[in-house]
Structure 1
Amino acid sequence: MEYAMESFFSIEPTKTYRDYFNVHMVYAVSRKACVGDDPTQTALGTVWDKVNGVTNRLIQLPDYVYIPVSRGVIPYPSIIVNGKKTGFALVEGTGIIKPNYAFSCYLCGGLDYLKYLILHESVGHGFGLLGDEYVDYIDQELPESNKNRLKLDQAKGLCLNLSLTNDSQSVYWSHLIGHPRYPYVGVYEGGYKYDKGVWRSELVSLMSTLLTDLYFNAISRELLVKRILELSGEGYSFDKFLQKDSDEGRPTGGSLSLSPFRSTSIDWIDRLSVGPDEP
């Protein structure tokens, strides 16, 4: 659990903004050591799912989530389970009305994989509301149904690190393009699991690349910092972001990869599951 916590704060921007977070650890002991098909055998009711890789009906989770905090507080649960297959984030909105839940599996590939999953699922999806930038479907256009879903997500403030246009003046990160601090920011095709019809801001980012690239791109860092400062009540401004921003760990090269959850020896599935609109 200590390792999981340290992983959450291991890279920018949560590394710099660590003091803005309160961390509570809750242990849940299951009847079986690993997640399987029977929800009665796991303390949290988590089971494998053929579509999503792992799923949870969220029935038991609140009993554990609200042990350290009151029901009036909306936490950001980062759930570590013993398993061999997946990372998963259940994002039902901006996390203001109800929690978003991020699952990371240990045993998949040891501590390095767990660290990556926590950064990708808990920091990126669950807290940062970021969309996946990697590709599962090579040479395939983003289907119309997925475009509509992305539009709905972005209307709720999700997946703003992606764009359905390659117009540099219209993308959400247009203010970073041409900025002297960020000469590497541009418009690159590929993301949201498809090779064509969707764009991202940098060639390499933790939401897009292999497990060795532990780096959030500039727009992802800005979105994360904005979340931190707004939730803290301090208030966000671009100048505040620039004062503390660091691209420490940024790879100097690289290109869009296949899903980082693909492996010849480990069966990985990553899903950002978006629920209904918040009222």
Structure 2
Amino acid sequence: MKTKLYLLLFLSFFLAVSCTEDETEPGFSIDTAEDIVIASESNSQAIITFTSMREWTAKTDADWLSVSPSSGSAGAAEVTVTARSENTTGNVRTAVLTLTSGTLSREIVLRQVPTDYVLVEQSGYDVAKEGGKLEIEFLTNVPEDELKIYSTENDWLTQPVETRSATAWCIRLVVSENTDAKPRTAEIVFVKDNGSEEIVLNTVTIVQQGVSASSSTDYSQDKSVRFMQKATEGNGIPIVIMGDGFIDTEIADGTYDKVMDKALENLFSEEPVKSLRAYFNVYAVTAVSENNIFGSGYKTAFSCELEGGSSTYVEGNDEVIQAYMRCVPDIDYAKTLVVVVLNSTAYAGTTFFGYTDAAGNRIEFAIAYCPVIESLDSEYFRQVLTHEAIGHGFAKLEDEYSYSGTISLEKASQVKELQELGWAQNVDLTDEPDAVLWAQFLNDSRYAAEGLGVFEGACTFEFDVYRPSEDSMMNSNTVGFNAPSRKAIYDRIMKEGSGVTPTYEDFVAFDLQSNVQSRTVTRAATAPGRPFAHPRFTDKALDF
């Protein structure tokens, strides 16, 4: 599909006829301010024609888009932008094409629609405690008989009623009054049903405020430390667990300790940390929050924020978190994993690593955020906490899932940097079986039954980056860590816990003797189907 846009670049100049091209003053005038829409399919194109009286260049900031030609001389010109891949993200992809002539430049916004999309007017709605009517507007290209709209709460939201005009939809809801103290959350989920499966295309979050927010008055337990587990092997690798959004009454009645205890249990529920638990010292630091609600107008100890909507991104104030970590004495903070558990049932999780010491050297310190997803005993809580804290935070593994597009040059460079540090050992930028980081496993008959190979797609990208297995804890969360990931975890435990750099055969002996392979499949759970936030490489200095 091609879209033609004619851009007239009027170059005004006040020079004699004998003036050279270099002396011509550049000037742009673009008739249209509308964005260019590109079809969802791979190789979809848009053609931009213009006239310039000086030499020009064209470039884009998107790795999923190519531009040809990228430069030209004065006169009539035509630039073709081509989508390198199909847009399967479920969201519109945006790029900027910059045309430059001389010292002046103009930007043109290009948008590639997804294969199947639902575009919502806004991803989140705040509703007063009194309730009332709510309208959610969205656009979609999904046929009416294939589009399903679900509500996660039917007791205080009416059944959605939709009206449609062409591609425009409006869901009209009635929200009941909330008589509880705490706010409540519901999601409207947009799904395409193609007959064989249902694909989540977008999610809208509705938060209704409660009657009032509970506030802490007793901060006497704030920053107190509980030694949860003492290492009986090695040097004692430190893990510090703390919670955000817990008020004084929830600490006094034991809720806080129950959450910390469950987090500890979940952290050591997968191999190889399950068999190597004795190498860890684990501490809980109590954090008393003013409110037990996240969002505008409320205060929590670490100011954690959940992006909401279809996003699973979480962030907090890492300087404050570091200050609470330092309540634990006599540990190596540069090697500490901090786990922050949010007093929320939201499906979310994000890890931050890549910190440096005072000399600018990369250190192992990391912060993993995870809410108490659904409930304390939820399989989601266990799986996501393991994925974030052990996978990303402790072992510095990369994600093995993919959404769309070819891996960007920036991300590829970051992967290489991580691997130079011994991190990101579960992905590679080559598909050569004898050259990938896990080549030894592919040639080892002892791992023939594990289904290892070279599978395209990782680090959220579909192309030009590869993972060791079809599925894993770093992919869907519903199966255990694959062998290369287990080795990365084992290697760090041995190095940090015993000061020994293990060999490949050392790992295999442990892996087989401990019968780890037969215990890597986790309890099944149906994934909500939302993309998980990629770990953030912070490049910040730890506050020593």
TM-score, normalized by length of structure 1? Answer: 0.84
1:70 is displaced (CA, Å) by: 3.1
Report the equivalent of 1:59: 319
Residue 105 (str. 1) matches residue 371 (str. 2): yes
Q: Is the 8 A contact 2:291 2:299 kept in 1?
A: yes
- Determine the C-alpha separation between the residues in 1 that align with 2:364 and 2:327: 16
- Determine the C-alpha separation between the residues in 2 that align with 1:157 and 1:37: 40
- Determine the C-alpha separation between the residues in 2 that align with 1:32 and 1:181: 53
Which stretches in structure 2 are left out of the alignment for 5+ residues? 1-259, 522-526
Report the equivalent of 2:517: 247
In the alignment, residue 327 of structure 2 is paired with which amino acid?
Answer: I
Report the equivalent of 1:7: 266
SS in 2 for 1:79: strand
- Determine the C-alpha separation between the residues in 1 that align with 2:499 and 2:518: 25
- Determine the C-alpha separation between the residues in 2 that align with 1:277 and 1:147: 20
Report the equivalent of 2:466: 199
Alignment of 1:34-49 (within 5 A): 34-37=293-296, 41-49=299-307
- Determine the C-alpha separation between the residues in 2 that align with 1:218 and 1:23: 25
SS in 2 for 1:176: helix
Q: Residue 271 of structure 1 is aligned with which of 534, 540, 543?
A: 534
Q: Residue 87 of structure 1 is aligned with which of 329, 349, 359?
A: 349
Report the equivalent of 2:417: 152
1:48 is displaced (CA, Å) by: 2.9
Sort the Cα spacing of 1:188 and 1:98 in 2 relative to 1 into closer, same or farther, 3 A.
Answer: closer
Report the equivalent of 1:257: none
- Determine the C-alpha separation between the residues in 2 that align with 1:278 and 1:162: 26
Q: Is the 8 A contact 1:37 1:47 kept in 2?
A: no
Deviations 1:9-68 (CA, angstroms, capped at 9, x unpaired) = 111100110101111112212122233246x71111222347872212312112211222
Deviations 1:128-174 (CA, angstroms, capped at 9, x unpaired) = 1100001222xx22223322222222223321210111011211111
SS in 2 for 1:170: coil
SS in 1 for 2:328: coil
- Determine the C-alpha separation between the residues in 2 that align with 1:13 and 1:196: 30
- Determine the C-alpha separation between the residues in 2 that align with 1:181 and 1:34: 50
Name the one with the larger strand percent.
2
1:250 is displaced (CA, Å) by: 4.3
SS in 2 for 1:190: strand
Q: Is the 8 A contact 2:315 2:369 kept in 1?
A: no
Report the equivalent of 1:254: none
Report the equivalent of 1:166: 431
- Determine the C-alpha separation between the residues in 1 that align with 2:368 and 2:447: 30
Name the larger-Rg structure. Answer: 2
Sort the Cα spacing of 1:199 and 1:72 in 2 relative to 1 into closer, same or farther, 3 A.
Answer: closer
Residue 78 (str. 1) matches residue 326 (str. 2): no
Q: Is the 8 A contact 2:353 2:364 kept in 1?
A: no
- Determine the C-alpha separation between the residues in 1 that align with 2:338 and 2:372: 16
State, as a whole percentage, how many aligned pairs show the same letter. Answer: 25
Deviates further, 62-71 or 119-128: 62-71
Which stretches in structure 1 are left out of the alignment for 5+ residues? 252-259
Report the equivalent of 1:23: 282
Name the one with the larger helix percent.
1
- Determine the C-alpha separation between the residues in 1 that align with 2:463 and 2:456: 6
In the alignment, residue 369 of structure 2 is paired with which amino acid?
Answer: F
Report the equivalent of 1:185: 452
Sort the Cα spacing of 1:34 and 1:136 in 2 relative to 1 into closer, same or farther, 3 A.
Answer: farther
Deviations 1:87-137 (CA, angstroms, capped at 9, x unpaired) = 010011599746211111114465211101111000000001100001222
Q: Is the 8 A contact 2:428 2:466 kept in 1?
A: yes
In the alignment, residue 288 of structure 2 is paired with which amino acid?
Answer: V
In the alignment, residue 304 of structure 2 is paired with which amino acid?
Answer: T
Sort the Cα spacing of 1:150 and 1:41 in 2 relative to 1 into closer, same or farther, 3 A.
Answer: same
Q: Is the 8 A contact 1:53 1:85 kept in 2?
A: no
- Determine the C-alpha separation between the residues in 2 that align with 1:176 and 1:212: 22
Q: Is the 8 A contact 1:34 1:81 kept in 2?
A: no
In the alignment, residue 26 of structure 1 is paired with which amino acid?
Answer: V
Sort the Cα spacing of 1:68 and 1:129 in 2 relative to 1 into closer, same or farther, 3 A.
Answer: same
Report the equivalent of 1:255: none
Q: Is the 8 A contact 1:28 1:43 kept in 2?
A: yes
Higher-RCO chain (CA-CA 8 Å, sequence separation at least 6)? 1
Sort the Cα spacing of 1:23 and 1:71 in 2 relative to 1 into closer, same or farther, 3 A.
Answer: closer
- Determine the C-alpha separation between the residues in 1 that align with 2:452 and 2:458: 15
- Determine the C-alpha separation between the residues in 2 that align with 1:171 and 1:79: 34
